[in-house]
Amino acid sequence: MNRALIRFGLVVGALCVCASRVLGQVAVTEPVGGNDISADKSVNSTNGAGFTALGNIVLTETATTDFATGNNKTLILTLPDGWQFNSGVGAVSFAPSRDITAASVSVGSSTLTVTLSVSGTTKFDTLTISGLQVQALDGSLDWMNTGYILNLSVNAGTAVIAGVGQDLTTFGLLNTIPGTPRTLGINIQPSPTATAGVIHAQQPDLSTYDQFGVYCYQDYATMVTASRLSGSGALQGTTSEQTIGGDASYTD
């Protein structure tokens, strides 16, 4: 009885080890160049519009069977809404003398297509997509410009790659942050009347905004200086305040 139990346990253990060797998932290294891109780089910007280098997307096999065999199979990656590639700009490379024998890439405005041929499943392969450039279409949207590059089920391509889940596996995060502060907005007006030597009952509070009118919540550098608009006498107290998270608050 005991011998039978021991033998059964050994068989199950052996099966588990074999399964872990066969089932792999390609490891995707996501680029970080698309993170926190200034809204000033957007298409509709009047202050430095342009493309930003995305960085490398790297697919690395963790099992030699992750890339299924086949000739001229395609992997299509799609940008989130509100973004564009620099069409025609990009490259693809692979580790030499392994199972991937050929690869090319075509970059359109919203998608890129990698065409690859895999001759076998005996060696570990690495596929690198490089040189991509991205740009947000509308800098005024800010948080709405946040999204991931995906392999969409509606336009996935024909390549079978273990671990690449359609509509699920991410190939890079894209998002914008507010651009350079350009304007001030008054949240709280100072008291309408003032007496020399007496602190205002109502202290002013202001915020900075970029060229699109988006609140500059990452602004910790702008100095806001108050001055007397009319009347006589010197404005007393602390007249200059540095923004903290885009907000300048006076106290005296």
Cα within 13 Å of Cα(202), Cβ side: 9
Kindly report which listed range (7-21, 35-49, 154-168) carries the lowest average pLDDT score: 7-21
Specify if 191 maps to a domain: yes
CA separation, residue 26 to residues 61, 127, 143, 166, 216 (Å): 5, 10, 30, 14, 39
Cβ neighbours of 250 (radius 10 Å): 20
Last residue of a domain, one of 115, 144, 177: 177
Q: Among candidates 164, 182, 157, 201, which has minimal Cα distance to 40?
A: 182
Does 39 share its domain with 125? yes
Does 152 share its domain with 236? no
Please give the Cα distance from 192 to 190 (Å, whole number): 6
Q: Residue 77: which CATH number?
A: 2.60.40
Last residue of a domain, one of 148, 177, 206: 177
Q: Is 20 exposed, middle or buried (0-12, 13-18, 19+ CB in 10 A)?
A: exposed
pLDDT number for residue 23: 53
Six token digits for residue 87:
């069409």
Give first-to-last CA distance, the chain, whole Å.
Answer: 87
Residues 69-124 have pLDDT tens digits of 999 999 999 999 999 999 999 999 999 999 999 999 999 999 999 999 999 999 99
Average pLDDT over the chain reads 90
Does 79 share its domain with 146? yes
Specify if 207 maps to a domain: yes
Does 169 share its domain with 229? no
The more confidently predicted of residues 194 and 237 is 237
Last residue of a domain, one of 147, 177, 207: 177
Residues 205-225 have pLDDT tens digits of 999 999 999 999 999 999 999
* Domain extent for 130: 21-177
Does 101 share its domain with 199? no
Cα within 13 Å of Cα(136), Cβ side: 31
Does 132 share its domain with 185? no
With 70 as the cut, is the pLDDT of residue 9 above it?
no
Specify if 4 maps to a domain: no
Specify if 70 maps to a domain: yes
Please give the Cα distance from 188 to 183 (Å, whole number): 16
